[in-house]
Chain A
Amino acid sequence: MCKSCLMSTAEGDEEDLTRKQRREQARAQRKQLEEAEAASAVRRKRLSQLGIVTAVVVVVIVVILVATGGGGGTKKVVSGTKAANETVATVNSLIGGIPEHENVLGNPKAPVTLQYFGDLECPICKEFTLGALPALLQSEVRTGKVKIEYLSLETATREPEVFKTQQVAALAAGKQSKMWYFVELFYHEQGEEDSGYVTENYLQNLAQQVPGLNLTKWTTDRNDEALANQVANDAQTASNQGFTGTPSFLLSKGGGAPQKLEAGTYTEAAPYEAAIEKLLKS
């Protein structure tokens, strides 16, 4: 065998070995690449699945937000319209014929006094006024057992100036023994909390709905400093009792010390009636 032939065989073997190694390397690289591609495809698939879920959720939340956006408010009731007349009729059926004097509703000689601390913009006060109160008016106030005194405590109203203005507007109606009409109408037509609906226009429109209210006198009385002081005094009384929320209640008999009344409900009259009856019997 020639020397050159031996050399070429050895070179061939070496070349074969290198070729094998290269093939294996390439195969390993290919495998790695395929695995990476598969993992990447799975990740992309998972991300797109999550993306679809997220997109659906975002759409649903936006729909809920739009649908409930104005849900808290009652549409402004314009004086003289059918809606306004219906509201006035409802309020009339609730408190019509009950004696009123300033901020007190009920017989002035009633043995029990229920003090109701409220904020006219407070939705829970609305819940109580439209929930538990009508039955209470029927069973306890019309029967002369209880008189209800409305006191002011700022909770839901954000701007202290707006709070003072709206509460004084109600008290000014009280100068004509119409405060409870104003208060009831306010709660019945209450707007969405913190939407800035309480404007001068809103208060004027409300006053126009109060049956028999002399608007000129009401406008003059709103400037009475004594009424603004009364709002401040009510806040002090509430603070002395440790009240921070509305509605809050105090119950007293004759000249006795007032007791806090926590009924645990704003829609059921029964716990209020039970507390009143208990106090009457004591």
Chain B
Amino acid sequence: MSAKALRITMIALTVIGLGVASYLTYIHYAGIKPVCTAGGSCLKVQSSIYSELAGVPVALIGLIGYVAILASLLAPEGETTRFATAAFTVPGFGFSAYLTYRELFSIHAICEWCVSSAAIMTVLMCLSIWRFLRGDGTSKGASPPARTDESRPAPPLTAARS
């Protein structure tokens, strides 16, 4: 996969995640029922005590996370921005995992919106780590400069002869 294709795929996924998080933030503040195929599960999750963290709706935390990921993806590609994307998606994945744990073991209800966001975040994290580790792209100053022959003392001739 080319660097460009990878970046476009990640941007597309982030935009979908941003849409999901925006919807969940909207229904949280509007106090309306989320559209849900699993009966009242979404409402149960959305109105549970775990829908807020220190008074901040988790949907809003997700929204901020997606905005940060999108910003890092839209910024000119380089070592720093690739690292930033990974540094945003890893906590995003961790937070999604925590919320899924709460859904399964504390609330006993699954909200499909939350699950879709968690799945998107998981894929984004895998792609961003892969992208960061392979380090391709347009940056030239990403790798530490390799020493040239001129700057390196010549090895002893005997070594070359051996």
Secondary structure of the A contact surface, majority rule? helix
A-B contact pairs, 17 of them (CB 8 A): A22-B160, A23-B160, A30-B155, A31-B149, A38-B143, A38-B146, A39-B143, A42-B144, A46-B133, A53-B90, A60-B91, A64-B53, A71-B49, A193-B108, A244-B39, A245-B39, A265-B31
Task: Tell me whether B87 and A245 are in contact (CB under 8 A).
Answer: no
- Asked if A226 is at the interface of the complex by the 8 Å CB criterion, the answer is no
Task: Tell me whether B33 and A42 are in contact (CB under 8 A).
Answer: no
Task: Tell me whether B83 and A68 are in contact (CB under 8 A).
Answer: no
- Asked if B135 is at the interface of the complex by the 8 Å CB criterion, the answer is yes
Interface size on B, residues (CB 8 A): 42
- Asked if A83 is at the interface of the complex by the 8 Å CB criterion, the answer is no
- Asked if B48 is at the interface of the complex by the 8 Å CB criterion, the answer is yes
Task: Tell me whether B108 and A43 are in contact (CB under 8 A).
Answer: no
- Which residue on B lies nearest to A245, using beta carbons? B40
**Bound complex: CA of A85 vs CA of B62, how far in Å?**
41
CB-defined contacts of B83 to chain A, threshold 8 Å: 46, 49
Task: Tell me whether B39 and A26 are in contact (CB under 8 A).
Answer: no
* Minimum distance in angstroms from B61 CB to a CB of chain A: 11
* Minimum distance in angstroms from A245 CB to a CB of chain B: 4
- Asked if A260 is at the interface of the complex by the 8 Å CB criterion, the answer is no
Assess A193 versus B106: contact at CB under 8 Å? Given A42-B135, A50-B132, A123-B48.
Answer: yes
Q: Which B residues are within 8 Å of any A CB, using their own CB?
A: 31-33, 39-40, 43-44, 47-50, 53, 83, 86-87, 90-91, 94-95, 97-98, 101-102, 105-108, 129, 132-133, 135, 142-144, 146-147, 149, 152, 155, 159-161
Task: Tell me whether A35 and B146 are in contact (CB under 8 A).
Answer: yes
**Bound complex: CA of A64 vs CA of B50, how far in Å?**
11
**Bound complex: CA of A53 vs CA of B152, how far in Å?**
35
Task: Tell me whether A53 and B98 are in contact (CB under 8 A).
Answer: no
- Asked if A156 is at the interface of the complex by the 8 Å CB criterion, the answer is yes
CB-defined contacts of B144 to chain A, threshold 8 Å: 38, 41-42
Q: Which of B31, B47, B108, B133 contacts A156 (CB 8 A)?
A: B108
**Bound complex: CA of A53 vs CA of B50, how far in Å?**
24
* Minimum distance in angstroms from B8 CB to a CB of chain A: 22
CB-defined contacts of A58 to chain B, threshold 8 Å: 94
Task: Tell me whether B86 and A264 are in contact (CB under 8 A).
Answer: no
* Minimum distance in angstroms from A63 CB to a CB of chain B: 11
**Bound complex: CA of A122 vs CA of B144, how far in Å?**
59
CB-defined contacts of B95 to chain A, threshold 8 Å: 61
**Bound complex: CA of A53 vs CA of B133, how far in Å?**
14
Task: Tell me whether B98 and A61 are in contact (CB under 8 A).
Answer: yes
Q: Which of B31, B107, B159 contacts A193 (CB 8 A)?
A: B107
- Asked if A57 is at the interface of the complex by the 8 Å CB criterion, the answer is yes
